[in-house]
Structure 1
Amino acid sequence: MAVLPINDAPSFDDDGRPKRTGTFWTASAHIITAVIGSGVLSLAWAIAQLGWIAGPSVMLLFAFIGYYTSCLLADCYRSSDPVNGKRNYTYMHAVRSLLGRGQTTACGVLQYVNLIGISIGYTIASSISMMAVKRSNCFHSSGGKNPCHMSSNPFMVSFGVMEIILSQIPDFDQIWWLSTVAAVMSFTYSTIGLGLGIAKVAETGSFKGTVSGISVGPINESQKIWRTFQALGDIAFAYSFSIILIEIQDTIRCPPSEAKTMKKATGFSIALTTIFYMLCGCMGYAAFGNDAPGNLLTGFGFYNPFWLLDVANVAIVVHLVGAYQVFSQPVFAFVEKKAAQAWPDSPFITKHHKLSISSSRSYNVNLFRLVWRSLFVCFTTVVAMLLPFFNDVVGIIGALQFWPLTVYFPVQMYIVQKKIPKWSLKWVCVQTMSMGCLLISFAAVVGSVIGVMLDLKVYKPFKTMY
Structure 2
Amino acid sequence: MVENTAALSLSQQDSDFSTEFKICGFVHYLNLSGVVIGYTIASSNSMMAIRRSNCFNKSGGKNPCRMNPYIIAFGITEIILSQIPDFAQLWWLFSVAAVMSFTYSSIVLGLSIAKVAENGKFKGSLTGISIGTVTQTQKIWRSFQALGDIAFAYSYIISLIEIQDTIKSPPSEAETMRKATLISVAVTTLFYMLCGCFGYAAFGDMSPKDLLTGFGFYSPYWLLDIANVAIVIHLVGAYQIHCQPLFAFIEKAAAQRFPDSEFISREIKIPISGSHFYNLNLFRLVWRTCFVILTTVISMLLPFFKDIVDLLGALGFWPLAVYFPVEIYVAQKKIPKWSTRWLCLQLLSAACLIITIAAAAGSIAGVVGDLKSVKPFKTFY
TM range (shorter): over 0.9
**Greater share of helix residues, 1 or 2?**
2
Q: How many residues align?
A: 369
CA distance in 2, matches of 1:146, 1:396: 30
Partner of 2:220: 305
Partner of 1:189: 104
Provide closer, same or farther for how the CA distance between residues 136 and 251 of structure 1 changes in structure 2, counting only shifts above 3 A: same
CA distance in 2, matches of 1:195, 1:258: 36
Partner of 1:443: 358
* Aligned pair partner of 1:109 in 3, 20, 26: 26
The Cα offsets for residues 42-66 of structure 1, whole Å up to 9 and x where unpaired, read as xxxxxxxxxxxxxxxxxxxxxxxxx
The Cα offsets for residues 198-243 of structure 1, whole Å up to 9 and x where unpaired, read as 1101111111111211122222222111111001001111232111
What displacement does 1:362 show? 1.7
Check if 1:314 corresponds to 2:229. yes
CA distance in 2, matches of 1:309, 1:146: 16
TM-score w.r.t. structure 2 length? 0.94
Partner of 2:305: 390
The answer to whether the 8 A contact 1:226-1:447 is kept is: yes
The Cα offsets for residues 33-86 of structure 1, whole Å up to 9 and x where unpaired, read as xxxxxxxxxxxxxxxxxxxxxxxxxxxxxxxxxxxxxxxxxxxxxxxxxxxxxx
What displacement does 1:99 show? 6.9
1:326 counterpart SS class: helix
Partner of 2:257: 342
Check if 1:121 corresponds to 2:34. no
CA distance in 2, matches of 1:332, 1:97: 27
Amino acid at match of 1:108: G
The answer to whether the 8 A contact 2:116-2:122 is kept is: yes
Provide closer, same or farther for how the CA distance between residues 158 and 223 of structure 1 changes in structure 2, counting only shifts above 3 A: same
RMSD: 1.5
Provide closer, same or farther for how the CA distance between residues 189 and 366 of structure 1 changes in structure 2, counting only shifts above 3 A: same
Where structure 2 has 5 or more consecutive residues not aligned to the other structure, the ranges are 1-12
2:210 counterpart SS class: coil
2:278 counterpart SS class: strand
The answer to whether the 8 A contact 2:55-2:64 is kept is: no
2:336 counterpart SS class: coil
What displacement does 1:258 show? 2.3
Partner of 2:5: none
The answer to whether the 8 A contact 2:335-2:342 is kept is: yes
CA distance in 2, matches of 1:220, 1:146: 29
What displacement does 1:245 show? 1.4
The answer to whether the 8 A contact 2:144-2:362 is kept is: yes
Q: What is the correspondence of 1:272-283 to structure 2 with a 5 Å cutoff?
A: 272-283=187-198
Partner of 2:285: 370
Task: Say which is worse superposed, 210-219 or 112-121, in terms of deviation.
Answer: 210-219
2:373 counterpart SS class: coil
Partner of 1:30: none
Partner of 1:433: 348
The answer to whether the 8 A contact 1:98-1:413 is kept is: no
* Aligned pair partner of 2:151 in 208, 227, 236: 236
* Aligned pair partner of 1:139 in 56, 63, 70: 56
Provide closer, same or farther for how the CA distance between residues 97 and 405 of structure 1 changes in structure 2, counting only shifts above 3 A: farther
TM-score w.r.t. structure 1 length? 0.77
1:298 counterpart SS class: coil
The answer to whether the 8 A contact 1:389-1:455 is kept is: yes
% of aligned pairs identical?
64
What displacement does 1:253 show? 2.5
The Cα offsets for residues 278-323 of structure 1, whole Å up to 9 and x where unpaired, read as 1111111111111111111110110000000000000000000000
Amino acid at match of 1:111: H
CA distance in 1, matches of 2:128, 2:112: 18
CA distance in 1, matches of 2:293, 2:377: 15
CA distance in 2, matches of 1:257, 1:112: 27
Check if 1:453 corresponds to 2:342. no
Q: What is the correspondence of 1:326-341 to structure 2 with a 5 Å cutoff?
A: 326-341=241-256
Amino acid at match of 1:122: Y
CA distance in 1, matches of 2:330, 2:215: 48
The answer to whether the 8 A contact 1:339-1:349 is kept is: yes
CA distance in 1, matches of 2:314, 2:68: 26
Partner of 1:463: 378
CA distance in 1, matches of 2:15, 2:237: 32
Partner of 1:160: 75
CA distance in 1, matches of 2:364, 2:61: 34
CA distance in 1, matches of 2:98, 2:352: 28
